[in-house]
Amino acid sequence: MKNNSKRHCLSTMIRQQNIRIIYLVTLILLVLFIVLPIVNVLGLTFFGVGFSENFKELNNDLLSLLFKSSLLALSVAFFSTISGVILGFILYKTNVKYRNFFKLLILIPLFISPYILAIAWKDLSFFVFNSIEYDIYKKYSYFAIILVHSTIYIPLSILIIGSSMTNISKQLEESALLMTDFPNVFFKILIPLIKPAILSSFVLIFIFSISEFSVPSYFGIRVYTTEIFTQFSAFYNHGLAVLQSVLLIVLCMILLLSEKKHISESTFLSVGTKGKEAKIYDSNRLNIIGFWIMITVVFIMICLPVIVLILHSFVDGLDEFVKAFNLLLPSFGNSILLALLGAVCTVVIGFVAAYYSVRYNQNTIDRILLFTFAIPSIILGIALIKFYNKPYLNFIYSGLGIIILGYIGKYSFISAKIIRNSLKQIPKSMEDAAKIQGVGYIKRILKIVIPLIFPAIYAAFIINFLFCLGDLGTTIMVYPPGTEIMPIKVFTIMANAPDSLTSSMALIVFIFTILLISILFYTFKKILTEYNVNY
């Protein structure tokens, strides 16, 4: 009897260890492959040779550059978040015609590499001013950065704010509507209720914008990230580049930590869950105004850049377009393969982080992912290069592995967020019921948990696939020489190539991305339909 009980105790311990082992293995791999390189590069910078010389370089000029970049990022965050509130309301709280179509359409800029839109807007200025005079160009470039960045980040703001709006029980608004008029309900009830989402959107967009360098670089404007990039790639002064980056990391971390609670709880995207019944403001006037606002926004954000790219691509005939296609052709396969691997890895890690956070309150991986997400891509890239550029780690450094690690560091947080939101909607009793019936831990995950949250897993896969496909920030730092990758090909060629060739390449990348988005969203819609039928 006593022996029996000992055996039972042992088997229980093994079981509990099995549960923890997946988490521990993921945690250890994440720390070894991503956190360690970051810590290593910071250590080398602060305790390595040349620190005092580099430290002197952190002068007023650099600080004023950081201030200028912050102002730019603030403008983008402000404009994008305000737009996110307005457009989020139209898309999620009114019955505007074709709203589901608009919801999908408005996401496109988020998945297009920022430099594509930068090329389009530069082309537009070419048409407007007929030639690109340096003074005019310079004068409008700041505005252009804000415009391009806002175009990219408004969809993110809509996603965060819109899903927060749908999570507000309609009774809260209806009870207020019995007492006061709509503007009061909007400003005094709805806006305060979605304040966490508004703050999250603002902080995240600020961080994204201040970390992005391809657009300022394309417009030839010196900002903080282009300075880091110059130090790294032109002067090979890695120590100074990292030291400069530290200021940026500190700024981003302060902002993230101040809003940590809101950011970790904001929904981002709710997939496949019914949630609370949201209030829909179904008035004819509102629907008509909303419809025309959406038409205008879609025209400015998507149609206009595409039209301009098309016109500019064919300004010298078909030749440049064909040339661009031939240049890009070898990179299509590589880009898809990398994006696929990146999406799979980020979804797996995101699932582990989300599952253990929701079910076992284990948040270490979650925190690590938030940290690596907050670190500007350029710094993550430097960290990975510095760490893996060793003979015995060459198999990672010279292959696709280093790019995948960059994707994992950058995008796993997003998949963890999406999966976490969905997991939180699945009652624990679903798993408990299986446990009582003797279903083992792995089988419970495979047969109960994953099927129940599959739409969210697939959504996370699509989103991260598209992010990886268009990623420039990390990829440009770490890609092994000779590897043909779509965004790199365009970015490296655009400085020296004729404008029509650059536009053609941008147009081809755009069409290619749209094609992939259409395929992925079509399959996603089919999955959602199937799940709605089954539920």
Q: Which residues bind another protein (CB under 8 A)?
A: 5, 8-9, 11-12, 15, 427, 429-430, 432-440, 443, 447-448, 451-452, 531, 534-535
Residues forming beta bridges with residue 281, ordered by sequence position = 94
Task: Give me the least distance between CB of 303 and another protein, in Å please.
Answer: 40
Kindly report the number of other CB atoms within 10 A of residue 119's CB atom.
Answer: 29
* 222 or 428: CB nearest another protein: 428
Task: Give me the least distance between CB of 450 and another protein, in Å please.
Answer: 10
Name the token pair of 314. Answer: 């064919």
Q: Measured between alpha carbons, how far is 220 from 223 in angstroms, rounded to an integer?
A: 9
Task: Give me the least distance between CB of 334 and another protein, in Å please.
Answer: 36
CB 219 within 8 A of CB 118: yes
Question: In this structure, what are the phi and psi dihedrals at residue 281, rounded to the nearest 5 degrees?
Answer: -90, 100
* 291 or 441: CB nearest another protein: 441
* 272 or 381: CB nearest another protein: 272
Task: Give me the least distance between CB of 203 and another protein, in Å please.
Answer: 29
**Which amino acid, 16?**
Q
Name the token pair of 224. Answer: 């903080």
Q: Which of 453, 489, 499, 454 is nearest to 469 (CA)?
A: 489
Q: What is the 3-state secondary structure (H, E, C) of 431-499?
A: HHHHHHCCCCHHHHHHHHHHHHCHHHHHHHHHHHHHHHHHCCCCHHHHCCCCCCCHHHHHHHHCCCCCH
* 180 or 532: CB nearest another protein: 532
CB 374 within 8 A of CB 312: no
* 5 or 326: CB nearest another protein: 5
Q: Measured between alpha carbons, how far is 330 from 486 in angstroms, rounded to an integer?
A: 9
For the chain, the farthest-separated pair of C-alpha atoms sits apart, in whole angstroms, at: 92
Task: Give me the least distance between CB of 8 and another protein, in Å please.
Answer: 5
CB 521 within 8 A of CB 462: yes
Residues forming beta bridges with residue 94, ordered by sequence position = 281
* 380 or 452: CB nearest another protein: 452
Task: Give me the least distance between CB of 157 and another protein, in Å please.
Answer: 32
Task: Give me the least distance between CB of 6 and another protein, in Å please.
Answer: 9
* 7 or 195: CB nearest another protein: 7
Task: Give me the least distance between CB of 1 and another protein, in Å please.
Answer: 9
CB 342 within 8 A of CB 404: yes
* 179 or 533: CB nearest another protein: 533
